[in-house]
Structure 1
Amino acid sequence: MAQWNPHTYLKFGQERLRPALDLLAQIPLEQPQTLVDLGCGPGNVTALLKQQWPNARVIGIDSSPDMLSQARENHPGIDWIETDITTWQPDQKTDLIFSNACLHWLGNHDILFPKLLNHLNEGGVLAVQMPNNFAAPTHQAIRDVLGADHPLCPGYPVSDCRDYYQWLAPECERLDIWETTYTHVLSGDNPVADWTKGAALRPVLDGIKDKGEKQVFEQAYRKRISQAYPPLANGRTLLPFKRFFMVCLKK
């Protein structure tokens, strides 16, 4: 299991927050009684859900004890549960399952997503945002350095929009699916490499056990990323980043 560092992840907290806010704005619920944030991380987005619906029971679920430790410290009044999403079973059906930048880490979406939909009450909502940037240099550079057949190479975990529609539409009153490419304006020395170190690169670095090999890999990766995402004349670096969104209103 990757060891998630909340401080590294939150280095670009505002940029990572925007897709969650865009997803939140599309949820057609007025007064849900219970809601769950799957893959809640350090709890920043979960706290926004609590702010949006202060009278609801809000539950944050994550498998990382470090992330949950920070969530508990910074955001009281929310139930924080450490568990594996793939085996999670709620004690009762809920009105909203929200997941921001988490479910792409899990496989078998054809089984997982209908299962999550089944955990909702009638009229409940499944709202999901996942990165869909896996063909970009941020991820391709990992394959180039490690070799395409290396077991630590990232795959392409997000399926085609048509697949999610076919899996979920029969049980939905309404199903909205869209994609957005954000262009993040970053500052610093090789900031895109720092961005991926907080997310996509984390499992790779954790998986390379030899310290020397890890250092060689990271140096080679950072060099490729600096070439793929060069700074502009003003010193800023642009990172285009595509994301997948889905809001399902259950029948």
Structure 2
Amino acid sequence: MYSDPPSITPSRPPVWDPQQYLRHAGHRTRPFLDLLGRIPDLPAADGPAPRMADLGCGPGNVTVRLADRWPDARITGFDLSEQMLAQADKDYAGATPGGGRLDFELADAAHWVPAEPYDLIVSNAALQWVPNHPDSFPAWIDGLSPGGTFAFQVPGNFTSPSHAILGEICASPRWRSRLGEHGRRYVHILEPADYLTRLSGLGCETDVWETVYCQLLTGPDPVLDWVKGTALRPVLTALDGDQEAIDALLAEYRDRLREAYPPGPHGTVFPFRRIFAVARKK
């Protein structure tokens, strides 16, 4: 189960880089497509166009996939990052080819409550950043139309070397005064059985599973390049433009990642565990 959020000095939210995040868009999109494939039919196909929310939509590259399956849907992506929303607005906002509409709004998933009934509330690799997010499940389920679905996936790899090493570096004597627990500040997930218990207890027909993707990354220091788009964002934000410190930390982290993930003849194998849940309101 998740632990209480670590005691850290309050700081501004991470500054996100949409282009860095999208460098591995193929691998990052695959879990969402697997989640999408397990979402059941939504209520009353002959009724109004389905209403959907994507919590933590990022640059919108997976939000738009909802319109592929439900062409006439009215979809709103919510995110706390102005940088991500600007990219999403630029690339995807507006009418969809099937007659639906896609828009994006600034919102914090930690406090978001549905303002209208939704047929689908979905979240892709975002809730790990939200402390105590399971406490929001009752309000989100209440916000679904009868027969609607809440579906999400979160990374489950926070004990893997890529993340454990970052936490160790941030807590080391060299960095602790500046970074403290920033390397572990996002660890707020439950185990699959706990998600199943929570969602079933809210009266939902619930399907929970996990998958380990053995991803083959290429290029120089590909694992470092991967985490620059996600786990490193709070750390880089905390260093606040101190390029000398950033370079020193990245060099230390890079060297340890090279040991943990040595390149092979076809690239660097990067196992990545994901946890999925699909809960249908009866």
Tell me the residue number matched to 2:122: 98
Report if aligned partners of 1:20, 1:100 keep a CA contact under 8 Å in 2: yes
Q: CA RMSD in A?
A: 1.5
Report if aligned partners of 1:95, 1:124 keep a CA contact under 8 Å in 2: yes
What amino acid maps onto 1:162 in structure 2? A
SS in 1 for 2:23: helix
What amino acid maps onto 2:146 in structure 1? E
Distance 1:14 1:223 in 2: 26
Distance 1:216 1:238 in 2: 25
Question: Can you give the 5+ residue segments of structure 1 that lack an aligned partner in the other structure?
Answer: none
Instruction: Summarize the Cα distance change of 1:89–1:157 in structure 2 as closer, same or farther, 3 Å threshold.
Output: closer
Q: CA deviation at 1:109?
A: 2.8
The answer as to 2:34 corresponding to 1:22 is yes
Report if aligned partners of 2:55, 2:121 keep a CA contact under 8 Å in 1: yes
Tell me the residue number matched to 1:237: 268
Report if aligned partners of 1:183, 1:241 keep a CA contact under 8 Å in 2: yes
Distance 2:22 2:234 in 1: 17
Tell me the residue number matched to 1:2: 14
Distance 2:141 2:257 in 1: 38
Q: Which of the numbers 209, 213, 217 marks the counterpart of 1:186?
A: 217
Q: Which of the numbers 47, 62, 68 marks the counterpart of 2:64?
A: 47
Q: CA deviation at 1:233?
A: 2.5
Q: CA deviation at 1:111?
A: 0.8
Distance 1:160 1:100 in 2: 17
Report if aligned partners of 2:155, 2:273 keep a CA contact under 8 Å in 1: yes
SS in 2 for 1:88: coil
Describe the superposition over 1:81-115 as per-residue Cα deviations: whole angstroms up to 9, x where unpaired: 11111222332110100110001100113312222
Q: CA deviation at 1:211?
A: 3.2
Tell me the residue number matched to 1:222: 254
Tell me the residue number matched to 1:151: 181
The answer as to 2:136 corresponding to 1:119 is no
TM-score (norm 2): 0.84
The answer as to 2:245 corresponding to 1:213 is yes
* Greater mean alpha carbon deviation, residues 67-76 or residues 179-188: 67-76
What amino acid maps onto 2:239 in structure 1? I
Q: Which of the two has greater helix per residue? A: 1
Tell me the residue number matched to 2:279: 248
SS in 2 for 1:85: coil
Distance 2:212 2:193 in 1: 19
Identity of aligned residues (%): 40
SS in 2 for 1:61: strand
SS in 2 for 1:126: strand
Q: Which of the numbers 19, 34, 39 marks the counterpart of 2:51?
A: 34
SS in 1 for 2:201: helix
Q: CA deviation at 1:183?
A: 0.8
The answer as to 2:197 corresponding to 1:166 is yes
What amino acid maps onto 1:215 in structure 2? D
Distance 2:212 2:73 in 1: 32
Aligned length: 250
* Greater mean alpha carbon deviation, residues 218-227 or residues 28-37: 28-37
